[in-house]
Amino acid sequence: MVGNALTTLWLFAFMAIFCSFDAAVIKDRCPIPSQLKYNYDFNWKSRSSEWNNTNAQPASLQLVLSWTPTFCQSLPQSVQDKEFQCRNSQYFGIVVHGLWPQAAKASSVRAHPRNCRDEKQLNSTFIKRFYCMMPDEDLIQSQWEKHGTCYYKTATEYYENIEKLYQSLNIPDIAAMKSKTKTNVVNAFLTQNPKLLSSAIQVSMNAENQLKEIKICYTLNYQYVRCS
Ligand SMILES: *[C@@H]1O[C@H](CO)[C@@H](O)[C@H](O)[C@H]1NC(C)=O
Ligand SMILES: *[C@@H]1O[C@H](CO)[C@@H](O)[C@H](O)[C@H]1NC(C)=O
């Protein structure tokens, strides 16, 4: 009897360790292009839709997650056919869009820190290390320059912190959800992440009411906080 109970206990302990480990590993497993684009540097000054704001003080952080099927559908077919993430969309469900340092009490998007430094193109070893989490070299480069430079000294520091946040989240199986409504997505995240505050998650839908992005808000010390 005691022996049986002990065996069961060990089995549970083993399963708990194995399963949590496995969940983390799956997020790291994806196909990676053998060859990246030649030029994926980002230069906000050459873009009419971009601006800089180096005066705004970061007060909190927003981890922005993106739902691959909706992102890919938003692109013209010819672009979808070229995008590695879209051609391999079954491997990339919820991915990271970026981590955004946010100003307190911002009255508009321009009040947030943005494009604080111009940085050189990240190397391919670096890009490939984070590819499963953010499957696009242009995105990895541009989020670092646009948002990361406003709070972090190096790209390594920026992406290792994003990786920690992403790995620490229990991402619900969105693909398996019959009805991907805002409420259902929020509830699934709250159920799977008991410490997450309902005020620290925001879900946004596109014009066709399809799941687009999920924002999780943190203090500068990476504690969940009400999204401002
Ligand atoms: C924006 O960048 C320019 C350099 O192109 C710099 O002179 C200016 O001070 C920056 N403005 C802000 C608000 O960061
Ligand atoms: C690639 O970039 C990272 C981050 O900047 C750096 O630490 C690393 O040494 C670089 N590796 C190569 C092979 O250049």
- Ligand 1 centre to CA of 15 (Å) is 54
The per-residue pLDDT for 189 is 98
Nearest C-alpha to atom 6 of ligand 1 is from which residue? Answer: 52
pLDDT grade for 3, boundaries at 50, 70 and 90: low
Detail the DSSP E strand segments found in 24-130: 60-67, 94-102
Residue 5 has pLDDT above 60, yes or no: no
Is the pLDDT confidence value at 184 over 50?
Answer: yes
How many alpha carbons lie under 13 Å from residue 114 in its C-beta half-sphere? 14
Of 10-19, 82-91, 206-215, the range with the lowest mean pLDDT is 10-19
Per the listing, tokens 């989240």 go with 169
What pLDDT band is residue 108 in, cutting at 50, 70 and 90? very high
**Contacts for 20 with CB less than 8 Å, ≥ 6 apart:** none
Average pLDDT over residues 133-141: 98
Pocket residues: Cβ below 6 A from ligand 2: 123, 125-126, 155-156
Does the C-beta of 55 come closer than 6 Å to ligand 1? yes
Evaluate if residue 1 carries a pLDDT over 50: no
Q: How far apart are CA 24 and CA 56, in angstroms?
A: 35
Give all domains of the chain, ordered by start, each with its CATH number: 31-218 (3.90.730.10)
The ligand placed nearest to the CA atom of residue 148 is: 2
Distance from C-alpha of 143 to C-alpha of 22, rounded to nearest angstrom: 28
- The per-residue pLDDT for 27 is 61
- Which of 36, 126, 141 has most ligand 2 atoms within 8 Å of its beta carbon, as the pocket-test mutant? 126
* Percent share of the chain, pLDDT over 70: 88
Q: What is the pLDDT of residues 24-59, one digit of tens each?
A: 444 668 999 999 999 999 999 999 999 999 999 999
Measure 127 CA to ligand 2 centroid, in angstroms: 10
pLDDT classification of 228: cutoffs 50, 70, 90: confident
Mutate to test the pocket of ligand 1, among 52, 55, 116 (most ligand atoms within 8 A of CB): 52
Asked if residue 12 has pLDDT above 90, the reply is no
Q: How many other CB atoms are there within 10 angstroms of residue 42's CB atom?
A: 21
List of residues 6+ apart from 216 with CB closer than 8 A: 62, 63, 65, 165, 169, 196, 200, 201, 224
Q: Is the CB of 43 under 6 A from ligand 1?
A: no
Residue 22's pLDDT is what? Answer: 40
* Residues paired with residue 78 on neighbouring β-strands, in sequence order: none
Closest-lying ligand 2 atom to the alpha carbon of residue 122: 2
- Full-model pTM: 0.88
Residue with CA at minimum distance from ligand 2 atom 14: 123
For residue 156, the CA-to-ligand 2 centroid distance in Å is 9
The closest ligand to the CA of 118 turns out to be: 1
Q: Closest residue (by CA) to atom 6 of ligand 2? A: 126
Given this model, what pLDDT does residue 29 score? Answer: 84
- Ligand 1 mean position to 197 CA, how many Å? 36
